Amino acid sequence: MRPTLLPLLVLLAATPAIPTPATAEIRLSGDAAMGLTSSTTTTSPQVATDLDVKIQASRVTDGGVEFGAVLEMNANAGPGTRPASGYFFIQGGNN
């Protein structure tokens, strides 16, 4: 074998042994609404807005188990409601 090809062959053989960072599927979804509201107690219409955002990150193992986290945010949370909430999940798997 040529001496110039030997380093390249060693590099290609060692490539699968190099650790790679874990990757996850990240989904971003949500909705936004804007409009005018009016009531009998006000003389002029009021601008109303609502914004909801959901971020989900997950990973599926070789055995089919999916795990991840979800973060839900509400930009127009009123009194008694939480502006953000989140949870972790694990689901699925092969029998």
What are the tens digits of pLDDT across the range 77-90? Answer: 666 666 778 889 89
Is the distance from CB of 51 to CB of 35 less than 8 angstroms? no
Question: Model's pTM, two decimal places?
Answer: 0.56
- Cα gap 85→77, rounded to integer Å: 11
- Look at 26 and 46; give whichever has higher pLDDT: 26
Backbone angles phi, psi at 14, to 5 degrees: -90, -10
Q: What percent of the chain has pLDDT over 90?
A: 4
Range of the domain at 47: 22-92
pLDDT by residue (tens digit) across 35-53?
888 777 766 887 888 888 8
* Secondary structure of residue 78 in the 3-state scheme: coil
The count of domains in the chain is 1
Question: What CATH number is given to the structural domain containing 44?
Answer: 2.20.200
Q: Is residue 54 part of a domain?
A: yes
What pairs with residue 73 in β-bridges? Answer: 53, 84
Q: Is residue 14 part of a domain?
A: no
Q: Is residue 83 part of a domain?
A: yes
Q: Is residue 75 part of a domain?
A: yes
Q: Is residue 43 part of a domain?
A: yes
* pLDDT at res. 75: 76
User: What type of residue sits at position 70?
Assistant: V
